[in-house]
Structure 1
Amino acid sequence: MLGRTANDLFWLSRYVERAENMARLIEAGYRIALLPRIGDDHKQEWASTLESAGCADQYYAKHGALDTRNVVDFLLFDGENPSSISSCIATARRNARAQRTALTREMWESLNSTWLELQSIRPSTLRSDALPRMLDWIKERSAGYRGALLNTILRNDTYYFSQLGTFLERADNTARILDVKYYVLLPSTSMIGSGVDNAQWEAILRSVSAHMSYRWVYKESYRSWRIADYLILNRAMPRSLRACYDEIDQTLADLSALYGEQKPCLETAKSTLALLEMSDIDTVFQSGLHEFLLEFIGRNSRVAHEISEAYHFTY
């Protein structure tokens, strides 16, 4: 496969997944914003969302002060923000058009119809009470594209590069959603263990569709270390860091077998998976959840960069 084709397929999947996960970040911030706050940091939840999305500097340069309407519009519709949901869907569609013959009809139609419907929405008419439904719609359309891919594509290099894009992006965003918790609680450590703290953890769980499954697995009320364990180390949870790297490691191994050559990115992925396999949540909390997540995000970015170099994405 040509490097340009692999690049487009990889980033197509990354941007579809990023759109979904941006919706999840907005949902996490929105849910936490509705909770009672202590002190005068009532807008801290949106600051943490912008930081976790990697969009804070760009937002402040454009809007200055935090405002709920401006933050939501910036993360959802702003064409000048390359990570906004609207920009992600548009970029994914451009990549899909460039590699139209590599996609199935179902994949293209799912993505194209999402783009068309999103273009028809006027941001100024979106009321705050309609935001949850809008975010659910984005998640549903992302799942629809993902279902089309899994059900119709051949298990060849097209599939493998799509899988890598999906799970590298998913791992990155699960780590960032967890980091929202760090940014929210750091200024107010007196809240840790309180009812507000537990409600914030519940909001994080709901934002990754893990509210019911957490209860099924642990059969107990919310515990910060249990929730962090679930989203970082539990391989049964499909959005956990461990589950993502199980997929990434296997996909890189399959790609290496297909091409008959093992690349350095596979070893980096294996070492990241080994870190997750050997970690326990007590150690993670003792060393610092934020620090662990930062290290993981850096490792994840390194894997993506090495994949790009190994398969000549820039050529």
Structure 2
Amino acid sequence: MLSRTAASLYWMGRYMERAEFTARLIEATLRLDALSARPAGKAAWESALQVVDADCAFAGTERAADPQAVSGYLTLAADNPNSIRSCLDAARNNAKSVRTALTRDVWEAINRAWLGLRGLATTGGYEETLALTAMIRAEARGFEGGLQRMLRNEAYHFVGLGAAIERADNTARLIDVKYHLLLPEGEKVGGVIDRDQWTTILQTVSANTAYRWLYRDGLKPWLVADMLILRSELPRSLAGATETVVGHLAEIAKRLARQGEADRLVRRRQTTLSRTSIDAVFGQGLHEYLEAFLIENAELDRAIGAQFRFA
């Protein structure tokens, strides 16, 4: 496989995962903002921007952090490189360059999602925005379903590798923002707003049911953190995403006979996660732990690029 083909597949996986995550984030924030506990509203939209590292860029637009402005910026803004529209543009361009490596189902899911945003100037009101995010999520599921029916070759594994790297990054940012930035000043930990926001976090990663299956206790922030960091049964957890990266790199190594720094880094991470407890994470400092994870994830991304000569 050519290096540029591998790079296009990898980044297609990353951009599609990013688009779906952003759609989930917008939907969950809309629902949180619609709750009766109104003090959470503005903080919830500001935190959504912080999760995707768009708070500074949005501030430059000098617009208020209200639902329509933020959802529009995260969904349609051409000047936001991480908006859903920008991600779908990038995913589609990468897919076009490797069209022969993809099945019809995979290509059509990406193209339908892209077409669904073409020509839109605004996300509309509450119901229209929910419908738009539902469409994006549906096409993302179609994309994932198409991948599952692909031949398990290098193309499949490079797409999955990119998606797993992106998934780990998104989950780490989501947890970090919640713990340090989301609860409005003056509101108590464990109160109604805090509980609603943690429910929103679980909705964002589709883990409400998983939480009830894994834990007998009611909603506890430290148990949510435990699940999203250390429980490999959850595909969107840091441990689950790490196992997925390990698996894809191992399969690529079998086919291309190429291993290197990326394999070493991710196996070290897998070992560390398997030996870590949530008490140890909090003992180190959750923010510090997640910040270190994000730095390591960026290092792993660069190692993958170097190992397979993406540049």
1:196 to 187, 193, 208: 193
Match of 1:49, as an amino acid? A
Match of 1:147, as an amino acid? G
Match of 1:299, as an amino acid? E
Distance 1:263 1:251 in 2: 14
Counterpart of 1:130? Answer: 128
Distance 1:277 1:37 in 2: 40
Q: Are 1:2 and 2:16 counterparts?
A: no
Q: 1:91-110 residue pairs with structure 2 within 5 A?
A: 91-110=90-109
Counterpart of 2:232? Answer: 235
Match of 1:138, as an amino acid? I
Counterpart of 2:29? Answer: 29
| Cα displacement string for residues 179-203 of structure 1 (whole angstroms, at most 9, x for unaligned residues) | 2312434663752122321221111
C-alpha contact (below 8 Å) 1:27/1:132 kept by paired residues: yes
Distance 1:257 1:182 in 2: 40
| Cα displacement string for residues 166-222 of structure 1 (whole angstroms, at most 9, x for unaligned residues) | 100111111122223124346637521223212211111112111122112213310
1:189 to 1:127, Cα distance in 2 relative to 1, 3 A: closer
Counterpart of 2:175? Answer: 178
Counterpart of 1:11? Answer: 11
Counterpart of 1:222? Answer: 219
Counterpart of 2:156? Answer: 159
Moved more, 174-183 or 187-196: 187-196
After the TM superposition, which parts of structure 1 deviate over 4 Å for at least 4 consecutive aligned residues? none
| Cα displacement string for residues 227-264 of structure 1 (whole angstroms, at most 9, x for unaligned residues) | 11111111111211111100101211221222223211
Moved more, 264-273 or 47-56: 47-56
What TM-score results when the alignment is normalised by the length of structure 2? 0.93
Structure 1 residue matching 2:310: 3-state secondary structure: coil
What TM-score results when the alignment is normalised by the length of structure 1? 0.92
C-alpha contact (below 8 Å) 2:68/2:124 kept by paired residues: no
How many residue pairs get aligned? The number is 310
C-alpha contact (below 8 Å) 1:28/1:177 kept by paired residues: no
1:114 to 1:187, Cα distance in 2 relative to 1, 3 A: closer
Q: 1:242-253 residue pairs with structure 2 within 5 A?
A: 242-253=239-250
1:111 to 1:283, Cα distance in 2 relative to 1, 3 A: same
Distance 1:79 1:258 in 2: 38
1:26 to 1:84, Cα distance in 2 relative to 1, 3 A: same
Counterpart of 2:260? Answer: 263
Gaps of 5+ in 1: none
1:111 to 1:175, Cα distance in 2 relative to 1, 3 A: same
1:161 to 1:110, Cα distance in 2 relative to 1, 3 A: same
C-alpha contact (below 8 Å) 2:76/2:122 kept by paired residues: no
C-alpha contact (below 8 Å) 2:13/2:160 kept by paired residues: yes
Match of 1:132, as an amino acid? L
Match of 1:202, as an amino acid? T
